[in-house]
């Protein structure tokens, strides 16, 4: 049901065994879709993506992108106003990083 069902709900209902393995979903073969976000009315196909599938670079990129945000949030929590975050993307060749400046390193 559009704007009510989420990919996570469908994964749990139809593939409960693997639902926890899914990182994200692909709507209509082109749009990366958050597992918690309600599906749009125009969704006609849904594919679940896993990190541990070797050729699934989309799932890996989504995981690394989210991981960079988590690392940035952790750095802000630890260093507060003494930290300036710069760049922190996921890397197309794999992994992620975050550049930052520590204003008062002690």
pLDDT tens sequence across 33-56: 999 999 999 999 999 999 888 778
Give the integer Cα–Cα distance in Å for 59 and 105. 36
| Cα radius of gyration (the chain) | 17
- CA-nearest of 10, 72, 99 to 47 is 10
Whole-model pTM: value is 0.78
**What pLDDT is stored for residue 89 in this prediction?**
85
Q: Tell me how many degrees the CA angle 10-71-90 measures, rounded to the nearest 5.
A: 70
pLDDT digits (tens, 9 = 90+) for 60-77: 999 999 999 999 999 999
């Amino acid at each position: 049901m559009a704007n009510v069902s989420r990919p996570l709900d469908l994964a749990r209902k139809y593939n409960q065994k693997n639902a926890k393995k899914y990182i994200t979903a692909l709507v209509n073969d082109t749009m990366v879709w958050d597992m918690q976000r309600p599906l749009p009315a125009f969704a006609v196909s849904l594919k679940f993506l896993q990190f541990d599938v070797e050729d699934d670079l989309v799932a890996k990129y989504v995981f690394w992108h989210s991981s960079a945000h988590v690392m940035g949030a952790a750095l802000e929590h630890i260093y507060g106003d003494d930290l300036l975050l710069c760049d922190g993307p996921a890397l197309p060749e794999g992994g992620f990083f975050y550049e930052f400046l520590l204003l008062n390193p002690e």
